Amino acid sequence: MKKLIYLDNAATTKTAPEVVEAMLPYFTEHYGNPSTVYSLGGESKKAITEARETIANALGAQTEEIYFTAGGSESDNWALKATAEAYKSKGNHIITTKIEHHAILHTCEWLEKHGYEITYLPVDENGVVKIDELKKAIRPETILISVMFANNEIGTIQPIKEIGEIAHEHGILFHTDAVQAFGQVPINVDEYHIDMLSASGHKLNGPKGIGFLYIRKGVKIRSFIHGGAQERKRRAGTENVPGIVGLGKATERAMATMKERTDKEIELRDYLIDRVLKEIPYTRLNGHRTTRLPNNANFSFQFIEGESLLIMLDMEGICGSSGSACTSGSLDPSHVLMAIGLPHEIAHGSLRLTLNEEITKEDLDFVVENLKRIIDRLRSMSPLYED
Amino acid sequence: MKKLIYLDNAATTKTAPEVVEAMLPYFTEHYGNPSTVYSLGGESKKAITEARETIANALGAQTEEIYFTAGGSESDNWALKATAEAYKSKGNHIITTKIEHHAILHTCEWLEKHGYEITYLPVDENGVVKIDELKKAIRPETILISVMFANNEIGTIQPIKEIGEIAHEHGILFHTDAVQAFGQVPINVDEYHIDMLSASGHKLNGPKGIGFLYIRKGVKIRSFIHGGAQERKRRAGTENVPGIVGLGKATERAMATMKERTDKEIELRDYLIDRVLKEIPYTRLNGHRTTRLPNNANFSFQFIEGESLLIMLDMEGICGSSGSACTSGSLDPSHVLMAIGLPHEIAHGSLRLTLNEEITKEDLDFVVENLKRIIDRLRSMSPLYED
Amino acid sequence: MYSEKVMDHFQHPRNVGEIENASGVGTVGNAKCGDIMRMYLDIDDNGVIQDCKFKTFGCGAAVATSSMATELVKGKTIQQALEVTNKAVMEALDGLPPVKVHCSLLAEEAIHAALWDYAEKHGIKIEGLKKPKSDIHEGEEEEGEDY
Amino acid sequence: MYSEKVMDHFQHPRNVGEIENASGVGTVGNAKCGDIMRMYLDIDDNGVIQDCKFKTFGCGAAVATSSMATELVKGKTIQQALEVTNKAVMEALDGLPPVKVHCSLLAEEAIHAALWDYAEKHGIKIEGLKKPKSDIHEGEEEEGEDY
Ligand SMILES: Cc1ncc(COP(=O)(O)O)c(C=O)c1O
Ligand SMILES: Cc1ncc(COP(=O)(O)O)c(C=O)c1O
Ligand code: FES
Ligand code: FES
């Protein structure tokens, strides 16, 4: 079988073997429901507490400020909808950006149908939120600012600290979707003035179907999923103990290796970017050149279409992703690439390659060679390309 | 170490080893995001489709009517809130029962705060919904009837088919919380006139943190968790592939063994009930004597309190649960035991024992002997018991 | 969920039972959870508690705090016994989980009720002792986050 | 997600390229996804399509349907070519995923556009051929369940 070069780590990651190892006993041995009285449930409860501590430490938060959810999407939905509900008497205005993940954007659209007003901030050509636009957007009835920590497509990291400061100067709650950033870049909720933060396990070599929402003490939001008294009565549902243990382990792992891992990723990422820009004509890099996720590279190749490119890369064992409309169920081209000003047909030919710690320079050389060949071939088939 | 006799299978079950086995490859090998174009994602997608088919078959449903969620609570929240939202123009009245799980009841309370009217149907002394009360409760503006398939505390199975027929005669949607029933008793959504059905993996030897909502084709509910286009755009969030595979495997297993397993459970359950009622004075059985879940026995022992009983049983390696206020975070005694008419202090001394396929007659003999001893002891400490 | 000391007093409760012709008997019920505790005191002519027994219908924490409370008041004067608050009992047990704090109030109130009974029977007034409620209503709530 | 036939035509597309001095050339764009296809026809004096080539800027399904469409129309008369609908192309490819049905319309419309161009150049009218839209707007929606 061909070697697999997995460069779609922003979509999801391989669950680390030691994470799976840590989870296993909680399926068949310590399977007790943590809400029960007997000792079997006590094992589960202890494991959950430990995971919560690990995560809280990673953020400079307090243990009881971490609430487990089923993933980033639930965390985002919860943060926005429950804040909107809890602070309705204060106001009905929420500020977010044009480049958020759909879990934020579609939730905002839902809120718009329910009487809330949303401002979608523009970004500059590098995908950085325009701070002056943020300042202008603030109104007395603004209850929440939600800006993602780092973008999932183009990798741009936002000036979160500055945004947090502005939010707090105005007495506005600040939520950040850190699904792509948690475990990749250092985050401190106090330093950055973050009131709520979403994260998802499978983006940092943890399991799928588990995530958390950090909620600063004092923020008055209630449940999004109503029912049993789990998670201090804020999130109902029998706890996904193996998932929580896995997320704890993944966090521990990501924090312990962060510096070394991301240093290496940055080096390789830049090597990839340099080679592609130099060796493939009519190509641009999307996102900020340096203030970007350590493992993210995103290119647009003119005259070609992303899905075809992905399929051809797949034939060589290379997994990537594209902002092309054709790869998604929605048929809309990436709203992120549109927001940084790309014309439709250029957004179409985009390719996101996101590294992990296992990727080597040789892998990237193989990728670049194949890219050159495939792009040549697709361009020769393209009615847009006249050479 | 003492042998563990786990009799709290209504709270959660041990994940079956073959279920874990089935899940494992999807953590570290076929870890691709099913929404992607490349073949690694195709593996995940195929696995999800297979699980969906297995579950659809188990219910006599169509494959595309099964939507994966993070568990029973999310399914219940989704069914109720999204129906309320989608059918608002038709009416604002929902009918449910007094003995639903909190995932239904607390969601109904939330809906009451948002302009909906809820009728909570009473039950008889066996915990069976009063059909004449249901008929009386129906109004032109009734949009939904939600009645649980089987109760989680006392095990009583409801006349679901009759209720479904009444709902459909009146053109009202019918949802059932089948978290306790799915995999334990045969269910056919067409025969029973079920429009929506909630289930949760960890109740049938599947993993925690995964469940599904069956939604009949044509029911117009939208997303509860907004975001990506997963689950036919109705439930956002990267799919919990290992969880889904585990739920599929657990369903396959539960359906294949159902007859044999539950026949054995019913025999042992009845043996336990008979011995306890005969040998321990001042004891009653809660729930219907025969129309109850195969593995459920629920007793009230007068003059004693449930948590103390549970802790003492735990010391002998026996895990059970109680409707006692003292065991829950909420301090309210079980609303189910109240609804069947138990006085507060009798509800207090209740014990739920729920069997699984591994339990033997010898286990139950051991349980009964210990129960007799412990109850004697607690009664001798009780200010209510004067012998 | 319980400390070792709680488990010890739950498994081996001290002073379970009744005292015939007790100097004072107090029964209190906990409105929050419906539990009930009865405390018997044997007080000598010097106002020293010579013996103390209890019966409890309640959770593990209720049993353990009853047991610990009887241990703490034994040999004490009436005034000293008044200082055996629920906090003191909890500390002696190495703490209780937050949802179980109210249980320890049962023990404190049961002592007070038994002392009140003693005072009434003997026609005396005990400094600092208020008429016990038949039901205990207070007790710490978890911070405003419950559902 | 694609059938083997689709993958085969995607990997080895037939008739990629241009025809110089073609009898008819048609270019269509898909408003739904922004993809573009150009079709070249070489039609002899008997109205038989002797050669057919294409260029496509589009997804895997677009490439495969272009390729299959050229194969299907080659050797056909103009009237026969009009029967090469998107359904016919999809069937020949053993089907397409639901979200990709619209891609096959590109091929059908490109043939029509090329035939229209041919008719205009030759001042003839082709029975049953409507003036092609520059953009394709129709295409099956998924049932009303999208977000
Ligand atoms: C009847 C019933 N409904 C809903 C639930 C909630 O399921 P989960 O805890 O998996 O969210 C449960 C179990 O806890 C239940 O027994
Ligand atoms: C920035 C961002 N937010 C939210 C999500 C949603 O997370 P999940 O799919 O785990 O629900 C993702 C990933 O899909 C993401 O990249
Ligand atoms: S042609 Fe655009 S998605 Fe297929
Ligand atoms: S005394 Fe009732 S919960 Fe402890």
CATH of the domain at C48: 3.90.1010.10
pLDDT classification of B333: cutoffs 50, 70, 90: confident
Q: Pull the structure tokens for residue B384.
A: 């209510």
Contact residues on chain A for B240, CB-CB shorter than 8 A:
70-71, 207-210
Q: Do the domain assignments include residue C109? A: yes
pLDDT of residue C147: 29
The top-scoring range by mean pLDDT among A38-42, A106-110, A382-386 is A106-110
User: What span, in angstroms and rounded, lies between the C-alpha atoms of A384 and A382?
Assistant: 5
| Per-residue pLDDT tens over the stretch B35-59 | 888 888 889 999 999 999 999 999 9
Give residue C100's domain range: 4-123
Interface contact flag, A227 B102, Cβ < 8 Å:
yes
| Per-residue pLDDT tens over the stretch B245-277 | 999 999 999 999 999 999 999 999 999 999 999
Ligand 3 atom with least separation from CA of D33 = 2
**pLDDT of D137 over the 60 cut:** no
- Residue C6 Cα to ligand 4 midpoint, Å, equals 13
Q: Could you give the domains of chain A?
A: 5-12+258-381 (3.90.1150.10), 17-253 (3.40.640.10)
Please state, as a whole number, how many other Cβ atoms lie within 10 Å of the Cβ of residue C121.
Answer: 12
Q: Do the domain assignments include residue D77? A: yes
User: What span, in angstroms and rounded, lies between the C-alpha atoms of D133 and A66?
Assistant: 55
Q: What is the least distance, in Å, from the CA of D138 to any CA of chain A?
A: 13
Dihedral of the CA atoms B222, B225, B231, B232 (nearest 10)? Answer: 40
pLDDT of residue D98: 85
Check contact D-C (3+ Cβ pairs < 8 Å).
no
Asked if residue C35 has its Cβ within 6 Å of ligand 4, the reply is yes
Which A-chain residues 324-353 have CB contacts (< 8 A) with chain B?
327-330
pLDDT of residue C98: 85
Q: In this structure, are residues B217 and B67 in contact, taking their beta carbons and an 8 Å threshold? A: no
Each residue's pLDDT tens digit in chain C (147 positions)? 789 999 999 999 999 999 999 999 999 987 667 789 999 999 999 999 999 999 999 999 999 999 999 999 999 999 999 999 999 999 999 999 888 888 899 899 999 999 999 999 999 999 888 887 765 544 333 333 332
**pLDDT of A210 over the 90 cut:** yes
User: What letter does residue A2 receive in the DSSP assignment?
Assistant: P
pLDDT classification of A333: cutoffs 50, 70, 90: confident
User: What span, in angstroms and rounded, lies between the C-alpha atoms of D16 and D5?
Assistant: 17
Percent of chain B surpassing pLDDT 90: 90
Q: Do the domain assignments include residue D106? A: yes
Q: What is the least distance, in Å, from the CA of B326 to any CA of chain C?
A: 6
In the sheet that A283-285 helps form, which strands lie side by side, from edge to edge?
Answer: A283-285, A296-301, A350-354
Q: Do the domain assignments include residue D128? A: no
Contact residues on chain C for B330, CB-CB shorter than 8 A:
146
Q: Do the domain assignments include residue C9? A: yes
Ligand 1 atom with least separation from CA of A237 = 11
| Per-residue pLDDT tens over the stretch A177-206 | 999 999 999 999 999 999 999 999 999 999
Interface contact flag, A35 B11, Cβ < 8 Å:
yes
**pLDDT of D145 over the 50 cut:** no
**pLDDT of D147 over the 80 cut:** no
Partners of B354 in beta bridges:
B8, B296
pLDDT of residue A331: 63
Q: Which of A303, A348, A383 sits opposite D38 (nearest CB)?
A: A383
**pLDDT of A325 over the 80 cut:** no
pLDDT of residue C62: 93
ipTM score: 0.92
Asked if residue C61 has its Cβ within 6 Å of ligand 4, the reply is yes
Burial A320-348, CB ≥16 within 10 A → b, else e: bbbbbbbbbbbbebbbbbbbbebeebbbb
Q: Which of B42, B45, B233 sits opposite D145 (nearest CB)?
A: B233
pLDDT of residue C32: 66
C33 in catalytic set: yes
Q: Do the domain assignments include residue C140? A: no
Q: Do the domain assignments include residue C130? A: no
DSSP-derived 3-state class of residue A95: strand
Contact residues on chain B for A73, CB-CB shorter than 8 A:
225-228, 236-238
**pLDDT of D142 over the 60 cut:** no
Interface contact flag, A326 D63, Cβ < 8 Å:
no
**pLDDT of A324 over the 80 cut:** no
**pLDDT of A338 over the 80 cut:** yes
Interface contact flag, D59 A308, Cβ < 8 Å:
yes
pLDDT of residue A327: 64
Please state, as a whole number, how many other Cβ atoms lie within 10 Å of the Cβ of residue A280.
Answer: 16
How many separate domains does chain D show?
1
| Per-residue pLDDT tens over the stretch B105-142 | 999 999 999 999 999 999 999 999 999 999 999 999 99
The top-scoring range by mean pLDDT among B290-299, B303-312, D26-35 is B290-299
Q: Do the domain assignments include residue D145? A: no
Residue of A nearest to D1 (CA): A311
Average pLDDT over residues A356-384: 96
| Per-residue pLDDT tens over the stretch D55-111 | 999 999 999 999 999 999 999 999 999 999 999 999 999 999 888 888 899 899 999
Q: In this structure, are residues A298 and A156 in contact, taking their beta carbons and an 8 Å threshold? A: no
Fill in the amino acid letter for D38.
R
